[in-house]
Amino acid sequence: MTVSSSEPTAAESDAPVLARLSTLDRFLPLWILLAMIAGLLLGRWLPGIQSALNAVKLGQTSLPIALGLLLMMYPVLAKVRYEDMGHVTGDRSLLWLSLLLNWVIGPALMFALAWIFLPHQPEFRTGLIVIGLARCIAMVLIWNDLACGDREAAALLVAINSVFQILAYALLGTFYLKILPAWLGLNTQDVHFSTAAITRAVLIFLGIPLAAGYLTRRFGVRAKGIDWYEHEFIPRISPFALYGLLFTIVVMFALQGKAITSKPVAVISVAIPLLVYFAIMWSVAFALGTRARLGYPKAATVAFTAAGNNFELAIAVSIGVWGVTSGQALAGVIGPLIEVPALVALVYVSLWLRRRLSRPC
């Protein structure tokens, strides 16, 4: 998952969006599908893989899977421009609108869609809610650049979301999985978890790579300079996020191949509410950004930061709390399979709106 660091020219901004993505990002859905197939074949050829993976554990997660999850998260968090958080007071309307969309409207919308579309599928329903709580901190930089959004604003919002997830994720998880359903009289007897388990998963799979990413950036920039760090170091480590994701998917599908093949409608049942979520969140966020007179670049940035989700974190939390063979983890894997084509389509919508608003890139 690489992010271009050069400003797009006018000609580039009108070029086909897919042509401007890196090869890894352009074919992400294909890599995920191939990893799924490889996992299914591996599970058939090596029936003893589960006992081998569980020989050594980090908490409740097998060590190889835990290492894959940490590898998946680290490059993403090493990209975050933590130093930009000092500019929080620069545009308060942008900040508060983003916080409202990301931490109030987004989770509430995903909660509603999960219960509307999956009322009798508790594992997938829970998995969707977990996704809704994981705000995007990786691919959003790519969508923002492709849509000619405000790069500095995107870096700021990504940094804020990265830190805020450490502080709020477990509390929001408890609220949306236990407290709010109880208030609404919804049956959650089939949903089992503990707040401590979510907290532990977040601290391990977000806290450790967040600390590593922050320290890497701080000392890397100090030693070699920002230009070397962003143009040489980051491109070298970026592909490892994809490698970690694909490794996790291979293992997941190797372990639960029979359950997956016996439920082929799982992908569709999770994909539909996700598509609805992307469309509503992006449209509402862009409309609110325009109404707040942020200008096209910042309105586009707010829209993409609100619509995208951190599927890496959702997968890590689901595996850490419910296990690698859980429906929650499977829902997390289906997420990026749907997100990439959906967000590419929204980039085209955004660029069309930019032309209608007569805003050069």
Distances (CA, A) of 319 to 81, 165, 197: 28, 17, 11
DSSP tag of 309: B
Q: What is the pLDDT of residue 189?
A: 67
Sorted by where each starts, the structural domains of the chain and their CATH numbers stand as 81-227+258-356 (1.20.1530.20)
Q: What is the pLDDT of residue 79?
A: 83
Q: What is the pLDDT of residue 359?
A: 55
Q: What is the pLDDT of residue 192?
A: 73
First to last CA, the chain: 23
Q: Of the candidates 306, 307, 289, which has an alpha carbon nearest to the alpha carbon of residue 298? A: 289
Neighbours of 96 (CB within 10 A): 11
The residue to which tokens 């509307």 are assigned: 116
The residue to which tokens 């806290």 are assigned: 207
Assign residue 323 a region (left: φ > 0; alpha: ψ between -120 and 50; beta: otherwise): left
> What is the rounded distance in angstroms from the CA atom of residue 321 to the CA atom of residue 59?
10
Q: What is the pLDDT of residue 50?
A: 66
Evaluate whether 85 touches 164 at the Cβ level (below 8 Å): no
> What is the rounded distance in angstroms from the CA atom of residue 285 to the CA atom of residue 305?
9
Q: Digits of tens for pLDDT over the chain (361 positions)?
A: 444 444 444 445 555 666 666 667 767 778 888 888 888 888 777 777 766 766 666 666 777 778 888 888 888 788 877 776 665 556 778 889 999 999 999 999 999 999 999 998 999 999 999 999 998 776 787 788 888 888 778 878 888 888 888 888 989 999 999 899 989 998 876 677 777 888 888 888 888 888 998 899 999 999 999 999 989 999 899 888 888 888 888 887 777 666 666 666 777 888 999 999 999 999 999 999 999 988 899 999 999 999 988 888 888 888 888 887 788 888 888 888 788 888 888 988 998 898 887 655 5
Stated pTM of the model:
0.81
Angle at 87 between CA 90 and CA 280, to 5 degrees: 70
Q: What is the pLDDT of residue 131?
A: 94
Query: 3-state class of 57 per DSSP?
Result: strand
Q: What is the pLDDT of residue 312?
A: 80
